[in-house]
Chains A and B, each alone.
Chain A
Amino acid sequence: MIAAEVKKPGMLTTVQDMGRHGYRHLGIPLSGGIDRWSLRTANVLVGNDPGAACLEITMRGPEMIFLKDCVAAVTGAEADVTLSGIPVPMWEGIFCGPGDVLTLGSPKKGSKSYLAVAGGLDVPVVLGSRSTYLTGCFGGIEGRRLQKGDLIRTLFKRHALDCLGKKYPKRYRPRFEDDIMVNVIKGINADSFTEKEFRRFLDTEFVVTPRSDRMGCSLEGISEIKSNIPAVSESCPVVPGSIQILPSGCPVVLLNDAQATGGYPQIACVTSADLWKIGQAVPGTRVFFRETDVRTARSEYQKKWVETGITERNPEVRFYSKTSKYHYEITLKD
């Protein structure tokens, strides 16, 4: 069904789910929501599968007018969200009726917000995923970012209104700090660096530069990191989170749209539990890396997976919709 129409697309808004698995050997990257935790929680709040397709909203948000009764939720970067001019909270299910205009402002903290609509966004599945891959011009809405006039379609969801009244507990919500500590696992090319140089990498304060996109987050440090080998080695597989050291001595953290293999030496790799911190970091954020091991990384991931699925009952469900011609009486079920 057609849920809404885009009035303003925002700076960079794309459809993303949990990504495209199984095609990396053909050079097709994972794609998918860069802050997978906020994407998951947004879906849980509206009763979707954790990997349903959402809008990933980078920096300035979109404006859209709803055409049907919908339950939506906004998570991720802290932005002002209004429904027909009335401020509505993030991290809880909100009711949007026909004629309601949902607007997301620029984030005050963080860089990416996620908008889930009950049922999940309905765009064609391309190679097993609904995620937009901008470089390849496929997935999402015609392989591109949102534009004015796009219709937001959702899959049908029975009893969508029953999802209202869920809220993500404050204590679990992400905090977007100016200084972030990010856990890393030693990289597959760590032997291209001396032990001293690896230590220097862990001791250096890096800063996020503006040259960052869905492919990678580029960092700059006070001291350069030097590898023992020439700039380009034999190609190796990469993952979102791989930290490559460029010939300039600066690191770049690969993100979800990065290609499947890369030739720059990988000194370390951000854990999948912590990658959202890099994805949400705005230029100027200071980054420190801390070494961890694979086992700890996995248990952190599992902890986070459970945590981001926990919701609590909203003591009071308010209707923000101004224009809906219907009046709902909703019985909240436990």
Chain B
Amino acid sequence: MEIKALGDNALVIFYNTGDYIPESLVQKDYLKLNRAKPDWITDIVPCYSNIGIYFRHDDITVEEVWEYITSRLKEQRLPEAEYKENKVAVPVYYGGEFGPDLPHLAGQLGMPPEEIIKIHSSALYKVVNIGFLPGFPYLAGLPKKLAVARKKTPSLKVPAGSVAIAGNYTGIYPFESPGGWHIIGRTPLRMFDLNRSEPCLLKPGDTVRFLPQTNY
């Protein structure tokens, strides 16, 4: 583990290096830091292998934050109850007009579209972080067979709710936006809605399963 300064008002904890990092470790440290966080910490952002901690440097020096983080991380484990994860089922209409990249992807991966749908919807995913757009989840747990590089030319308009894959991740576009991931389906769920008390449907640490829908 290594802590580095990100500019003058954030620090990043890196879980190094190159080795396999149990995502539960990042997740547990994230929960630990998030619990009873002092008000000079403004944001805590988990990624796959690191955690960003943003603070108000009007109130505190970087050395003090550094010390605080290391002492918090040394604390005893949290009670198991704290790790209770939120499980979310996401209905998806695969293929057709909702998954325009599915046929091409089938060719690229050398398997029929039905197989891609089956593999994609049988895996259990974990929200590693939310980024790119408000509410866009990076979901880890994509079976290796579906790992594929991004599209060479990004689409200019990816509709809201599009379920897509790229690299080792699957994700869901919260708004219509440009995007370079392969679109395989669409969910009617709203990933981001300011009218809800919690605008984002998913948050880091949540578990996600995709439910294929057929009745359309």
Task: Identify the A interface with B (CB < 8 A).
Answer: 21-28, 126-127, 135-138, 185-186, 188, 234-239, 241-242, 259-262, 266, 269-273, 294-295, 297-298, 301-302, 305
Contact = CB atoms under 8 A, between A and B. Distances in A.
B162 interface: no
B133 A135 contact: yes
Given A261-B45, A298-B61, A301-B57, A241 B7 contact: yes
Contacts of A236: 12, 47, 50, 52
Given A21-B42, A294-B62, A239 B6 contact: yes
Contact of B58 (A135, A186, A305): A305
Contacts of B45: 24-25, 237, 260-261
Given A21-B42, A234-B49, A236-B50, A27 B8 contact: no
Contacts of B156: none
B52 A26 contact: no
Given A136-B134, A235-B47, A269-B7, A25 B12 contact: no
Contacts of A269: 6-8
A133 to B, nearest CB: 8
B48 to A, nearest CB: 6
Interface in B1-48: 4-10, 12, 14, 42-48
Given A24-B54, A27-B132, A136-B134, A185 B7 contact: yes
B52 to A, nearest CB: 3
A237 B52 contact: yes
A223 to B, nearest CB: 25
B129 interface: yes
Contact of A235 (B57, B129, B133, B200): B129
B130 interface: yes
B129 A294 contact: no
Given A21-B43, A25-B43, A294 B133 contact: no
B131 interface: yes
Given A23-B43, A241-B7, A261 B131 contact: yes
A240 to B, nearest CB: 8
A259 B6 contact: no
Contacts of A234: 47-50
Interface in B196-216: 199-200, 203-204
A126 B193 CA distance: 12
B9 A237 contact: no
B136 interface: yes
- For A27, A127, A239, A298, which residue has the most chain B Cβ atoms within 10 angstroms? A27
A301 B130 contact: no
Nearest to B200: A26
A15 B130 CA distance: 25
Contact of B7 (A135, A242, A261, A305): A242
A27 B134 contact: yes
A188 B44 CA distance: 16
A302 B4 CA distance: 22
B134 A237 contact: no
Closest 3 CB pairs of A and B: A237-B52, A297-B8, A269-B7
A307 to B, nearest CB: 14
25 contacts: A21-B42, A23-B134, A24-B45, A27-B200, A126-B194, A127-B194, A135-B133, A135-B177, A136-B192, A138-B194, A188-B12, A234-B48, A235-B47, A236-B12, A237-B12, A237-B47, A237-B54, A242-B7, A261-B47, A269-B8, A271-B7, A295-B61, A298-B8, A302-B58, A305-B58
A188 B11 CA distance: 9
A27 B135 contact: yes
B42 A239 contact: no
Contacts of B48: 234-235
Contacts of B8: 185, 269, 271-273, 294, 297-298, 301
A72 B211 CA distance: 56
A185 B130 CA distance: 26
A91 B176 CA distance: 41
B21 to A, nearest CB: 10
Interface in B105-144: 129-136, 138
Given A235-B47, A261-B45, A294 B5 contact: yes
A262 B131 CA distance: 8
A231 to B, nearest CB: 11
Contact of A22 (B7, B42, B131, B200): B42
B98 interface: no
A242 B49 CA distance: 19
A27 B47 CA distance: 11
Nearest to B9: A272
A23 B131 CA distance: 11
A239 B9 contact: yes
Given A27-B133, A259-B132, 19 more contacts: A22-B43, A23-B134, A25-B46, A26-B130, A27-B130, A27-B131, A127-B194, A127-B199, A135-B175, A135-B177, A188-B6, A234-B47, A235-B131, A237-B52, A239-B10, A259-B131, A271-B7, A294-B8, A298-B57
